[in-house]
Amino acid sequence: MTEDLIMEEYDICVIGAGSGGISAALEASSLGAKVVVVEKEEIGGVCLNRGCIPAKAYLKSASVYDELKRSNDLGIVHKDITYNLSNIQHRTKEVINRLKGQIESSLKSRKVDLIKGRASFLDGQHIEVNERRLKASSFIIASGSSPRPLGSIEVDNKRTFYSDGIFDIDRMPKDITIIGAGPIGCEFASFFSAFGVEVTLVEMLERILPRGDREISNRLEGILKKRGIKILTSSRCDINAISSDAILISTGRTANINGFGLEKIGVAIKNGVICADEHLRTNLRGIFAVGDCIGKYNLAHVASAEGKVAARNALGKKVAMDYTIIPDCVYSFPEVSSVGLTEEEATKRGYDVRIGRMHFAGLGRAQAHGETDGFIKLVVDKKSDAILGAQILGYYATELIGAISIAIRGKLKIEDLADVVQAHPTFSEGIQLAAQNLFRQTI
């Protein structure tokens, strides 16, 4: 670094233009701050470019193809249908580019500067990027995460992939082995299976979606097996012995904490993630961190919420991040969603719980759609009738969970859910019916 570099000064410098970084930048700008975002790769981060959004675009194509294969049951008679992988990929890129353009427009309209390049901390108030020196009163680190390597396995993006690279696969494989049956593994198992690929899903723990509700994961496993997916739990595999056309490694992600000088300035790191408190403060004054790099939840919507909290705190407010009501969604076929405590978690915390259920087979809309696999599960404190959590398996599960999140946030009781008038026929009336089924047990 030379001494004649131009010094540019900002109120807030955000490192990383993913979900957390963009949210932080826009929030800080709306509060009157002069903001710059530094991004070494693509605006939108993993979620937009190699994660959430392309996965949902792929899954939409798969769901349409899957429904067409089953459309004879709906009275739609057709001859052979087919698909074009390159067209699916082209459409996905169009979706990404449209959303990327929207983000760029938002930053521009809020007068947020965007610099492409790798940031490197010089000290607690300065970074260098592309031979430019930036000074900021506060920094918000939103550096994201990368796929967790599986031993010394080489990922070539031809036969062996991480989720980041699978979107560029050049042909639909005859068969695929997916290592890791968390959300990413289950979603890609659903995608490939819908297109007739033979799928083997391998999980080293005792069940798929091991962090979720046991009843839900067991039921989903049964449904996936009916769809022809081979599932191996409590299993480890020798990748060299796998003969599948393709291998997808989906064994989690690791925080991006190297290569931009955190160790130089002394940012505290523990177990591979940046240490941040409920205000998203690190151990250094004026330096905050959000998103996957702090390892709380690897979810884009959590990163976005953290970004807002960090921006407010960086500008002198005192706001704490609330992690008690975080919806978690899996876009498998069928979908899975959850918010709050599971039955097992609530019991471990000492609650005496009651469970309200409504099976999709009892819903008129589900019968009309031919989507009867699944159920809604409400976890309620017997003593107070407070809603502690909910889990949903089935069609539209990822949309339905939002209503229950609002109910928990609003401290509604189970009676309130039972008394809400829902439109008929809808999937959302299943929430009301689950509450009624439970409430009737208490009167």
Indicate the burial class of 376 (C-beta count within 10 angstroms; 0-12, 13-18, 19 or more): buried
Cβ(255)–Cβ(274) under 8 Å?
yes
- The total of other beta-carbon atoms located within 10 Å of residue 154's CB is 7
Told to judge if 424 belongs to the known catalytic residues of this protein, a careful annotator would answer: yes
- The total of other beta-carbon atoms located within 10 Å of residue 117's CB is 13
- The total of other beta-carbon atoms located within 10 Å of residue 416's CB is 15
Which H helix or E strand runs over 394? none
Using DSSP, state whether 6 is helix, strand or coil: coil
Contacts of 329 (CB under 8 A, 6+ apart): 183, 335, 336, 337, 338, 397, 398, 401
- The total of other beta-carbon atoms located within 10 Å of residue 205's CB is 14
Cβ(80)–Cβ(122) under 8 Å?
no
Distance (Å) of CA 417 to CA 191, 357, 422: 34, 13, 10
Rounded CA separation 2/247 (Å): 47
Using DSSP, state whether 300 is helix, strand or coil: helix
Q: Which of 78, 279, 359, 424 is catalytic?
A: 424
Cβ(199)–Cβ(190) under 8 Å?
no
Task: Give the residue from 274, 243, 245, 246 showing the smallest Cα distance to 258.
Answer: 274
- The total of other beta-carbon atoms located within 10 Å of residue 74's CB is 12
Rounded CA separation 375/115 (Å): 47
User: At how many degrees (to 10) do helices 397-409 and 429-439 cross?
Assistant: 50
Rounded to a whole number, what is the distance in angstroms from the first to the last CA of the chain? 74
Cβ(335)–Cβ(395) under 8 Å?
yes
Catalytic residue numbers read 424
